[in-house]
Amino acid sequence: MQYQYKIVSSDPKLVFLQLLETKGLKATKQRQLVLDYLLNSKKHASPEDIYRDLCKKDRSIGRATVFRTLHLLEESGFAEKISFGDGRHGYEFKFGRPHHDHMICVECNTVIEFINDTIERIQHKLAQTHKFSPLWHRHEIFGRCHECSLKKDLGTKS
Ligand SMILES: [Zn+2]
Ligand SMILES: [Zn+2]
Ligand SMILES: [Zn+2]
């Protein structure tokens, strides 16, 4: 992940405005809406969800603007893509948040965030033994959340 701009502030909104300027893009209301959405979003929303929700707020927002802004945010390290089991993906806001990894339910796309020092340490050691210098990593565990496991059990019984 490459940062092509200098971070002058810890305020994500200011940094985003600066990023747009560096890219020669206008800080339109629509682009800022996408950032606001990710900033306030507790869940890991897919680009389609984000587009649909933002449409309710501002009908002038275009699908391409939403998708391109998300891509820009991802490229610049603001947002992270989380893959769901079904080939779709969601986004979460990453800037200024501590590192964590994910468990993803393939049935309902629920995402559980976790951080485990032992796993982190083992990954670091593993990289060292391979003389590998890690920059960042993503750890994703796919499976079924508790509720979906229960539903699955009931389903096989009937
Ligand atoms: Zn990790
Ligand atoms: Zn689930
Ligand atoms: Zn997360």
CATH number of 122's domain: 3.30.1490.190
Residues less than 5 Å from ion ligand 1, measured at CB: 101, 139
Of 95, 114, 133, which residue constitutes the final position of a domain?
Answer: 95
- Structure confidence by residue, pLDDT tens digits, 83-112: 887 888 999 988 878 889 999 999 998 899
Q: Does residue 125 share a domain with residue 87?
A: no
**What's the average model confidence in pLDDT over 56-64?**
92
Domain hosting 34: range is 1-95
Q: Does residue 87 share a domain with residue 13?
A: yes
Neighbouring CB atoms inside 10 A of 62's CB total 12
Q: Which ligand gives the minimal distance to the CA of 82?
A: 3
Q: Does residue 44 share a domain with residue 14?
A: yes
Neighbouring CB atoms inside 10 A of 78's CB total 22
Q: Does residue 152 share a domain with residue 137?
A: yes
Q: What is the model's pLDDT at position 127? A: 96
Q: What is the model's pLDDT at position 8? A: 54
Q: Does residue 138 share a domain with residue 84?
A: no
Q: What is the model's pLDDT at position 9? A: 67
Of 95, 116, 140, which residue constitutes the final position of a domain?
Answer: 95
- Domain count across the chain: 2
pTM, 2 dp: 0.74
DSSP strand pairing (101-105 vs 140-143): parallel
- Structure confidence by residue, pLDDT tens digits, 1-50: 444 445 556 788 888 898 899 889 999 999 999 999 998 887 788 999 99
**Triad 64, 74, 91: Cα angle to 5°:** 80
Q: Which ligand gives the minimal distance to the CA of 107?
A: 2
Q: Does residue 24 share a domain with residue 84?
A: yes
Q: Are 91 and 50 in contact (CB under 8 A)?
A: yes
Which ranges of the chain would DSSP assign to H, the alpha helix? Answer: 12-22, 29-40, 47-57, 63-75, 117-129, 146-157
Type of residue found at 75? E
Query: How far is the centre of ligand 2, averaged over its atoms, from the C-alpha of 112 (Å)?
Result: 10
CATH number of 48's domain: 1.10.10.10
Query: How far is the centre of ligand 1, averaged over its atoms, from the C-alpha of 148 (Å)?
Result: 25
Q: Does residue 67 share a domain with residue 12?
A: yes
Q: What is the model's pLDDT at position 156? A: 62
Query: How far is the centre of ligand 3, averaged over its atoms, from the C-alpha of 100 (Å)?
Result: 6
Q: Does residue 80 share a domain with residue 143?
A: no
Q: Does residue 90 share a domain with residue 24?
A: yes
Query: How far is the centre of ligand 2, averaged over its atoms, from the C-alpha of 6 (Å)?
Result: 40
Query: How far is the centre of ligand 2, averaged over its atoms, from the C-alpha of 152 (Å)?
Result: 10
- Structure confidence by residue, pLDDT tens digits, 128-137: 999 999 888 8
Q: Are 58 and 30 in contact (CB under 8 A)?
A: yes
Query: How far is the centre of ligand 3, averaged over its atoms, from the C-alpha of 92 (Å)?
Result: 6
**What's the average model confidence in pLDDT over 70-82?**
89
Of 68, 95, 122, which residue constitutes the final position of a domain?
Answer: 95
Q: Does residue 127 share a domain with residue 71?
A: no
